[in-house]
Homo-oligomer: A and B are copies of this chain.
Amino acid sequence: MNYQDLFSKALSGMSGNIIREITKVTQQPGFTSLAGGSPSPDCFPARELQEIAAEVIEKKKIAALQYGASEGYLPLREWIAGWVKEKGINATLSQVIITSGSQQGIDLLAKTFLDPGNRVLVENPTYIAAIKIFSVYQSVFEPVFSDGDGIIPESLEEILNQKACKLLYLIPNFQNPSGVTLTAQRRKAISEIVSRHNLILLEDDPYGELRYSGEMIPPMKASDPDGRVVYMGSFSKIICPGLRVAFSIGAPEIMQKVAIGKQNTDMHTSNLSQLLIYEFCSRGLLPAHIEKCCNIYRKKRDMMLELLETHFPAEVSWTKPAGGIFIWAKLPAGVSSMEILKEALKEKLAFIPGEDFFASGGGSNTMRFNFCNITSAQMEDGILRLGQLIKRFLTNK
């Protein structure tokens, strides 16, 4: 039977996410992988979560196992509303909604705001899954130039002076894939542009807690007088991703639509997942745990930066992120990271080629490395071999 004619416009031409395809391959034994967006299992508080689970499933049977509210587990929402105050975000309970990962937050916000053909502004490059999600809603992309300080306000304004857009999607801290952080000055300039052009801003901040150097910059949601910003935070990178618990914070009118959207997809996020995250956080375990993760990841970042300096040819440049989990490298123009990946996979070495992070093409000479989820020995071996491979490509060019 031929299904192709029956598929919706939204999905008929949609292919899988390259990261998840490459990640499947790298799960074979013997692979050295700089690919994927996973945090390190060394940073999962498995013992604590197991102890909590062993205590609360029977004791809080209804909360853990019965149907729950689409908006999320009330004590967790309250805890989050308190927690984000540290970042300068003032949120009432009706502004906080639990999502099954921030990725679902992006999806529900897209569902709330986007009709086919609506224009969405994105950093160039940006998170692949966000590009995929906005594509499902048949959005038109308007990629905005970015540099080492994040998205460029003048480029944003230039586009908006020509075209009406609905939504701006940003990852201001330790961006995926570039590792770049948007400066405080630019955050202010962009907020003004967002307001002037009647945009909704999705501020995606999954890595914000993982800062290894420099000072925290307040989120854009912290100064949002009109209620144009929806802030998305996540426990995936600071506790663990497998439980699928994240949150979105926005104006009550927006979050009411998000709740209805959620009611009509997965009804609510796994209650046991929410309960474990809540118990872990409310018992005061999070600050020390984040510090522990930062110490582990800081060393890994420093090590990878050193290895790149040692083994990569001078023609390649890369970012030096102040946090997060990614380093982003640029090959000379005309060198294809996808071609390099093909060779690398033959010798059981993987990274993510950068092309798919560009919503409107380009970037074929870029590549993304995850420095968190890899042992020191693998990192040494991987960067050494990749450096050699790149040198071979540059010589033969």
Interface size range on A against B? 35 or more
User: Is the C-beta of A254 less than 8 angstroms from some C-beta in chain B?
Assistant: yes
Shortest CB–CB separation between residue A256 and chain B, in angstroms? Answer: 8
- B8, A66: Cβ atoms closer than 8 Å: no
List the one stretch of A10-18, A173-181, A351-359, A379-387 in contact with chain B.
A10-18
Shortest distance between the CB of A263 and any CB in chain B (Å): 6
Q: A44-75 vs B: 1/0 string, CB under 8 Å?
A: 10110110011001100111111111100000
Decide: B57 and A20 in contact? CB cutoff 8 A.
Answer: no
Q: How far, in whole Å, are A339 and B20 apart by their CA atoms in the complex? A: 52
Contacts of A172 on B, CB cut-off 8 Å?
none
Interface residue? A124 (CB, 8 A): no
- A227–B6 alpha-carbon span in the complex (Å): 13
| A226-268 to B contact mask, C-beta < 8 Å, 1/0 | 1110000000100011111000000101100101110111111
- The interface bits of chain A over 9-48 (1 if a CB of B lies within 8 angstroms of the residue's CB, else 0) are 1110011110010001000000000001110010010110
Contact B166 A265 (CB under 8 A): no
CB-based contact A111/B244 at 8 Å: no
- Cβ of A126 within 8 Å of any chain B Cβ, yes or no, is no
Q: Say yes or no: A66 contacts B112, CB within 8 Å.
A: no
Chain copies in the assembled complex = 2
Max chain B C-beta neighbours (<10 A), residue from A47, A65, A236? A65
Interchain nearest-CB distance for A147 vs B (Å): 29
Contacts of A227 in B (CB 8 A): 1
In angstroms, Cα B243 to Cα A46, docked, is: 19
CA distance A283 to B63 in the complex (A): 25
Complex CA distance for A140 and B166, rounded to whole angstroms: 27
Q: Does A191 contact B (CB under 8 A)?
A: no
Contact partner of A3 (CB less than 8 A), chosen from B49, B253, B265, B268, is: B253
Q: Are A113 and B6 in touch, CB under 8 angstroms?
A: yes
Q: Which of A208-216, A269-277, A297-305 contacts B (4 or more CB under 8 A)?
A: A269-277
**Chain B residues whose C-beta falls within 8 Å of the C-beta of A41 in the assembled complex:** 61-62, 65-66
- Chain B residue nearest in CB terms to A62: B41
Write the chain B residue with the least CB distance to A27: B69
User: Which residues on B sit within 8 Å (CB–CB) of A54?
Assistant: 50, 53-54
Q: Can you pick out 15 interface pairs between chain A and chain B where the beta carbons lie within 8 Å of each other? A: A1-B227, A7-B112, A9-B115, A11-B261, A14-B260, A15-B260, A44-B66, A47-B58, A65-B243, A66-B241, A103-B264, A111-B136, A242-B271, A244-B269, A270-B270
